[in-house]
Structures are given as structure tokens and as C-alpha cells.
Amino acid sequence: MNNQQLSDLKARYVAKGAPHMISAFAERAENAELWDVEGNRYIDFAGGIGVLNLGHRHPKVVEAVHAQIDKLMHSCATVIPYAPYVQLCQKLCERVPGAGEKRALLVNSGAEAVENAVKIARAATGRSAVIAFDGSFHGRTMMTLALTGKVLPYKHDFGPMPGDVFRAPFPNAYHGISDEDSLNALNKLFKTDVPAHRVAAILIEPVQGEGGFYQASPAFMQALRTLCDEHGILLIADEVQSGFARTGKLFAIEHTGVVPDLLTTAKSLADGMPLAAVVGKAEYMDASGPGSLGGTYGGNPVSCTAALSVIEAIEEEDILAKSVALGERLAERFKHWEERFPNVAHGRHVGAMAAFELVKDRTSNEPEAALTKALTQRAAEKGLILLSCGFYANTIRILVPLTVSDGVFEEGLAIIEASLAELTL
């Protein structure tokens, strides 16, 4: 079937609330390239929205998955467990920041990991309230929607959200919110909306994903850690998008020197296989009773085996160094675009978690969402898959696989530059 025939089928049988941005259907892929059902080639700067840090079909992951399928595909870890589950939990506990005994729980998705982190925090503290931040994205289930700090397009159609969720401004100097402003807002929240002694957890992305790739400074994260310790609140780091080598560290929070009580990870954990995890201090992870955590497919043996091979590949191929190098190259290109194009502003990166803004002009810095959408569309026409994000829908984010070849990487950057020239000059 061709793209149009498949598009017609999708229009007839797939829920309208689940659209797609590229008017083509993928058939095969390799590293940072994919081809649709008609043979058209695309360079992938989206990486499955941060799922493919090791690229499409990394050979080590493919080999491990094939070998596991030949042995065991499913038994449900809560019925009869298997070695890859406990081996992966060991690897995660050894690599998540912090000394002392840790535990891990494996689930299916980032949203499910966040849901379970909230459950664990509530059980561990005997409290119910949770605080998140403006611009955050934590998932599309009802609890994670309540935590997500952006209405459109995620939550406006779905009625009342679960209660005991509160929000503070994320520190973002570019948009006029200092670290002090955010901390003051948290302390005000304790006086106006929820007393600190009722707060189970504060949940934060060390680098916001959908919110625009803004990094919480080390100073802010350290102050947040102090605030949580002062009031007996658990600090949860949501590393679903920023984790697994994207920022030049295995986890973005490592840039801050802060140790979270709980950490959630997913996306590139298994390089395309569905898998997520909550990892944290043993005393908190063990707070709820037997049977309170788990799920039918959580920690599927094939996904666990893929994740184990991902960890090996990151270490064997020095992927963290590649992330740092890619980030430096992106920073150089962003600077060049800012000099050439009056609508490009605020290029930024943490490792290869990189983004820039599109604005009406750099004097006002007024967000230019229409231009941002036009750029992603023009790039797609030229064979580049490119994503936008941001509280104001004017951020272009780069999630190219960290394993991308130099030639393909430069080809993708050239498409962005040519598209910017056509749209702005």
C-alpha cells in the first residue's frame, strides 16, 4: 500500500485525537535514517521523540532482542520472574546517582513510571499532595495530565483532573523567571494552597522536554533539595526524555550534583522497545505492600534484554562523549543561525539535548509559533523529521540519534538552514 492508501485507512479507523505530523508511513529505518512505504528517505532528527538515542535498530540491541525472542517473550514478572528483569534492576540501581541501597520497578511507559513514583511517594510519606512545575510534561494518563503544566493540546478535553496536585513556575531566566522567583513561589504555595507537611513529593524535569529544553540550574536544584529535606518532601527527577545519555551524562541530574529520592526513566532506556523504570532509595521503594506495584507487561523480558544491551553499548561506544561532541557542534551551528537569521534566538544545549527559539525579532523575543510550525513542515518536505515544542510552541528541539554519522548529521543541519533561509529571508 502507498502513503495515500494508508492515510485513508488511518482517517477511517484511527481515533482523530491521535494524528501524525509526517504525511508518510515508515517502512524501514537504520540509525538516523528511515524510508517510507514508497521508498522516500528521511533524516530523523526526532528519534521517536527521544526514544532512539542509539539510533534505529542498533545492531547490539537487535541481536539481543532476536536472541531473547528465541527463548522467552512473556511470562509476567509478577507470576514467574526471569533473569533480565532483576539484572536490569541491578544495573539501574548501580547507575542512578546516590549512595546507599536502592530498588527499581519496571513498567511500560514514562507516564506509568511517573504514576508509580507518585504512588510510592505517597506510601512512603503518608502524605498526598504533589507539586510540579509550569511547562512540564509528565504523560497523558489522568494523574500525569494533572501534573503536566500545559493545557493545549494535552488536557483541555478531559474534564476535572485528579486533586492534590499543585504547580509552581519553572525557573527560566529567558522568560523572566529567576531561581529565586521559583523558590519564593514554592514557599508561597505552602502558605496559600497546601501546607508543606501535606506534600509527598516535588516532581521536576532537570531539563524540561515538551516545555522547551530549559535546564534547571545546579543552584536551583540544590536549593530544591534543601527545601525538600527541610520539610520531609521526596524529590522526584523525571528523566523520561533527558535520561540515557542525551545530555552527556547518563542522567541529566548528574550535572547538578543533586541526588533525587526517586527517578523515572523511559524512552531511550530500551532504544525502541517499550520499557520504563522507577529507581529510588530502598526505604521509599519498599514502603507499599506486596502486590501494590507491577503490571502484566511491566519489565517484559524482550524489553529488559534490549535495555541491558543499551547500557553495554553506551559504555562500549563512549556514547556520553559523542553526546557532548554533538552538543558542541549544535551550539556552533545555532550561533551561526542567530547571526544570519533575525528570527533565531536563544540557542541552548545540555549535551546533545539542544534547542533554539523562533521569534518575531530578538528585541522583543516575542514567540513565533506560526514560523516554527512552518519550519517543521518545510523540513519534512525536504526529507528531515524535525520537532517543535515549548510553552509558547516556538522551540525547535534536536533529538537526533547520538550515533548519527557526520555526513547525515551535516545533511540534516543543512536542511534546517536552507528552510530557515526560504522562510525568513
pLDDT at 422: 97
Residue after which a domain boundary falls, among 266, 297, 316:
316
In sequence order, the 6+-apart residues with CB closer than 8 A to the CB of 234 are 121, 124, 125, 200, 201, 202, 228, 261, 262, 284
* Half-sphere exposure for 47 (CA within 13 Å, toward CB): 29
Percent of the chain residues past pLDDT 70, beyond the cut: 100
* pLDDT tens, residue by residue, 42-82: 999 999 999 999 999 999 999 999 999 999 999 999 999 99
Residue 27 lies in a domain: yes
Residue 65 lies in a domain: no
Average pLDDT of 247-274?
Answer: 98
Residue 67 lies in a domain: no
Phi-psi region of 373 (alpha: psi -120 to 50; beta: other; left: phi over 0): alpha
Residue 263 sits in a domain whose CATH number is 3.40.640.10
Structural domains of the chain, count? 2
pTM of the predicted model, to two decimals? 0.97
* Confidence at 113, pLDDT banded by 50, 70, 90: very high
For β-strands 199-204 and 129-133, DSSP reports them as parallel
Read off φ and ψ for residue 293, nearest 5 degrees: -125, 150
Residue 62 lies in a domain: no
Residue 272 lies in a domain: yes
276 and 333 both lie in a single domain? no
Average pLDDT of 259-269?
Answer: 98
* pLDDT tens, residue by residue, 196-218: 999 999 999 999 999 999 999 99
Average pLDDT of 257-285?
Answer: 98
pLDDT at 138: 97
Residue 155, pLDDT above cutoff 90 = no
312 and 340 both lie in a single domain? no
Residue 370, pLDDT above cutoff 90 = yes
pLDDT at 154: 85
Average pLDDT of 92-112?
Answer: 97
25 and 90 both lie in a single domain? no
134 and 241 both lie in a single domain? yes
pLDDT at 150: 86
C-alpha cell at 399: 533529538
Residue 64 lies in a domain: no
Residue 116, pLDDT above cutoff 90 = yes
Least confident of 21-25, 113-117, 222-226, 370-374: 21-25
312 and 326 both lie in a single domain? no
No. of helices (H) and no. of strands (E), the chain: 13, 15
- 3 state DSSP class of 389: strand
Range of the domain at 379: 3-57+318-424
pLDDT at 137: 95
